[in-house]
Amino acid sequence: MPNYGVPPLAISRGLGAKVWDVAGREYLDMFAGIAVSSLGHAHPALVQAVSAQVAKLAHTCNLLLHEPEVLLAERLLGLLGVPGRVFLANSGTEANECALKLALKYGKARGRGFLVAAENGFHGRTFGALALTGKPSIRDQFGPFGLDVRFVPYGDADALKEAVTEECAAVFLEPALGEGGVVPPPAGYLTAAREICDATGALLVADEIQSAIGRTGAWFAHQHEGFVPDVLTLAKGLGGGMPIGACIGVGEAGLLFDRGDHGSTFGGNPVSCAAALAVLDTVEAEGLLGRAVELGAQLASGIAAVEHPLLSGVRGRGLWLAATLTRPVAGAVQAAAQEAGFLVNAVQPDALRLAPALVISSAEVASFTDALPAILEGAR
Ligand SMILES: *Cc1c(COP(=O)(O)O)cnc(C)c1O
């Protein structure tokens, strides 16, 4: 269907932070399939885990239990450091559908009829997640959604305070707008959101589908702020390229569903769980949280040091950055970068998303920042 347009490139293989197109040309992959290929391409740990699991058991459905799903749920709760329960899905949007159903069930039992989400926020493309997505261009032509979702400007704690009353069931927020252009909120915003939810009894749902699993230098981006959400959704980098999503209910929020309230045939399948366990083990074994901090700082300072009339700055945290442009020419810069052998993502008309594999090397980061002036010049 024409929904993806015509992609600019066909890729045939990858290794580490590099990929090769069908003609054999090499590129440095600076966005890792939208922050998904956290270990890079063809990491031996992922190859081994997936191969061994598919050779042993590829599917059970959720009428039966298997070991990788139990280990993964326990591992995620251990990283979060709080008691909770985990529902495993296949994607980000499904993780958010689960969170939405938790929020609606919570609200219905308590006379809390509406939800709050952020303008320019992104939560997915299925019906419930789309209803929470604050981008009129991708949302409005498919509504109405039958949900009372109230949108507030992202980063404005006063607006959030005004919107979240005791009739609000839940607040859905990303730790920084991802699809919105890697836009971090002002300091203290997320902590204020936690306080507002505590004061009113609304659930705080942190959509960490893009921001978690080391991307910002912490397992979960909210850990930088020192609070815990009621519900946490994960996907993208968790599977390192294999499809998986997770919805974690912290404390009592993990006990809202009764038997039969939710389900998924493929959700938590053994192969994706084995992949996720390999990702978590490797992030730990290779010290990738620290590397995200270190190489993120190198990438950000390398971009900031470039002086070019098209470049206005750099924002974000860890290896989750956006280079911002003075004019809406991100598409042209993306094309010029590809021409020069670098894959970047024009996430907004005036912003390039950089979210490379956490295993990218310092020399590879330097090769990108060294090439950036000529890339920008090529887009003029
Ligand atoms: C990508 C993304 C989603 C949707 O995930 P899919 O796996 O594409 O369904 C939801 N929320 C955020 C913050 C995302 O970045």
| 41 Cβ closer than 6 Å to some ligand 1 atom | no
Model's pTM, two decimal places?
0.98
User: Which residue's CA is the closest to the ligand 1 atom numbered 7?
Assistant: 92
Say which DSSP state 147 is in.
S
Testing ligand 1's pocket by substitution, the residue of 31, 120, 179, 238 carrying the most ligand atoms inside 8 A of its CB is 179
State the residue for tokens 């042209």: 332
| 124 Cβ closer than 6 Å to some ligand 1 atom | yes
Q: Which stretch of DSSP H or E encloses residue 95? A: helix 92-108
| Pairing outcome for strands 345-348 and 351-354 | antiparallel
Residue 374 CA to ligand 1 center (angstroms) comes to 32
Q: Which stretch of DSSP H or E encloses residue 36? A: none
Active site residue 31: no
CB 89 within 8 A of CB 247: yes
Residue 217 CA to ligand 1 center (angstroms) comes to 19
State the residue for tokens 């836009």: 183
For 189, other C-beta atoms within 10 Å of its C-beta total 19
Residue 124 CA to ligand 1 center (angstroms) comes to 5
For 227, other C-beta atoms within 10 Å of its C-beta total 17
User: Which residue's CA is the closest to the ligand 1 atom numbered 5?
Assistant: 92
Quick one: 195 exposed, middle or buried, by C-beta within 10 A (0-12, 13-18, 19+)? middle
Degrees (nearest 5) of the Cα angle 192, 196, 197? 120
Active site residue 207: yes
Rounded alpha-carbon distances, angstroms, from residue 161 to 116, 157, 198, 200, 228: 11, 6, 11, 10, 19
| 209 Cβ closer than 6 Å to some ligand 1 atom | yes
Residue 94 CA to ligand 1 center (angstroms) comes to 9
State the residue for tokens 């507002």: 196
Question: What is d(CA 73, CA 65) in angstroms, rounded to the nearest whole number?
Answer: 12
Active site residue 236: yes
Which among 87, 122, 220, 342 is annotated as catalytic?
Answer: 122
For 16, other C-beta atoms within 10 Å of its C-beta total 19
Structural domains of the chain, ranges and CATH numbers in brackets: 2-30+288-378 (3.90.1150.10), 45-285 (3.40.640.10)
Residue 130 CA to ligand 1 center (angstroms) comes to 10
Say which DSSP state 361 is in.
-
User: Which residue's CA is the closest to the ligand 1 atom numbered 8?
Assistant: 92
Residue 24's Cα: distance from chain center in Å?
A: 30
- Token pair of 61, please? 């459905």
CB 315 within 8 A of CB 321: yes
Quick one: 161 exposed, middle or buried, by C-beta within 10 A (0-12, 13-18, 19+)? middle
Which among 29, 31, 151, 207 is annotated as catalytic?
Answer: 207
How does pLDDT run along the chain (380 residues), one tens digit per residue?
Answer: 999 999 999 999 999 999 999 999 999 999 999 999 999 999 999 999 999 999 999 999 999 999 999 999 999 999 999 999 999 999 999 999 999 999 999 999 999 999 999 999 999 999 999 999 999 999 999 999 999 999 999 999 999 999 999 999 999 999 999 999 999 999 999 999 999 999 999 999 999 999 999 999 999 999 999 999 999 999 999 999 999 999 999 999 999 999 999 999 999 999 999 999 999 999 999 999 999 999 999 999 999 999 999 999 999 999 999 999 999 999 999 999 999 999 999 999 999 999 999 999 999 999 999 999 999 999 98
Largest Cα–Cα distance in the chain? Answer: 59
